[in-house]
Amino acid sequence: MKKNNTNNECKLHTMPPTITDNDISALFNGILLVIKKKIELEKRAEILSINMTNDRLIKQLKEKQAECVRLKNEIIYLKSQLEQNNK
C-alpha cells in the first residue's frame, strides 16, 4: 500500500456572524421607538381621562351652582311670604 503524505495548504474562510452590530443597534433603536410611542399613547390617554374628569366636574359644579341659586331664591320668596303673613 502506498501512503500519500501530501501537505495540502488549506485556507480557512470564516463567515461573518449572521447578526452584526448594526443589526443589534437597529433592533435596539426599534425597541426604544416602540417604548417611546407606548409611553406617549399612555400619556395621551391619561390627559384625555383627566380632561373628561375635569369636564364632568365642571358640569357638576354648574349644576350645584344652579341648585344654590334656586334654593336662595326660594328662601327669599319664603321670607317675603313670612313677612306678609306677620303684617
Q: What is the pLDDT of residue 9?
A: 76
What is the arithmetic mean of pLDDT over 8-14? 76
Q: What is the pLDDT of residue 6?
A: 59
* Chain-centroid distance, C-alpha 9: 64
Q: Which three cell numbers stand for residue 17?
A: 456572524
Q: Looking at the whole model, is its pTM more than 0.85? A: no
Question: Residues 12-69: pLDDT tens digits?
Answer: 777 766 888 898 999 999 999 999 999 999 999 999 999 999 999 999 999 999 999 9
In DSSP notation, 23-69 reads HHHHHHHHHHHHHHHHHHHHHHHHHHHHHHHHHHHHHHHHHHHHHHH
d(CA 81, CA 75): 10
76 pLDDT higher than 70: yes
Residue with the three cell numbers 373628561: 52
